[in-house]
Amino acid sequence: MPDHPSPTKIPRVDEGRCHACRRCVARKVCRSKALVAIDPGEPPFVDGNRCYGCLACVPACPYEAIVV
C-alpha cells in the first residue's frame, strides 16, 4: 500500500458552488499552495502539479465548493 494519497484524489473547485470568498479558508489550509487564485473575484483552482491529495481543503471550504 502506498503511504501517500493517490494522485487520483486531486480535488477540484466547483465554480457553481464557490463564492470566491475574499479570504478563501481552503487556500489557507493548503500546505503546498496548490489552491491558486489568479483574480480575487474569481474562484481559485487546484494546481494539479502542486496538489498532493491530502484533501484538507475539502472540509475547510464552508460552501462545499471543493469536490473530489
What residues line the site for ligand SF4 (CB under 6 A)? 11, 13, 18-21, 24-26, 29-30, 32, 34-35, 43-44, 46, 51-57, 61, 63, 65-66
Cα dihedral 51, 55, 58, 59 sign: negative
Beta carbon of residue 16, minimum distance to ligand SF4 (angstroms, whole number)? 11
Q: How far is CA 13 from CA 36, 37, 55, in A?
A: 10, 11, 12
Cell of 43: 474562484
Cβ proximity to ligand SF4: between 1 and 54 the closer is: 54
Beta carbon of residue 50, minimum distance to ligand SF4 (angstroms, whole number)? 7
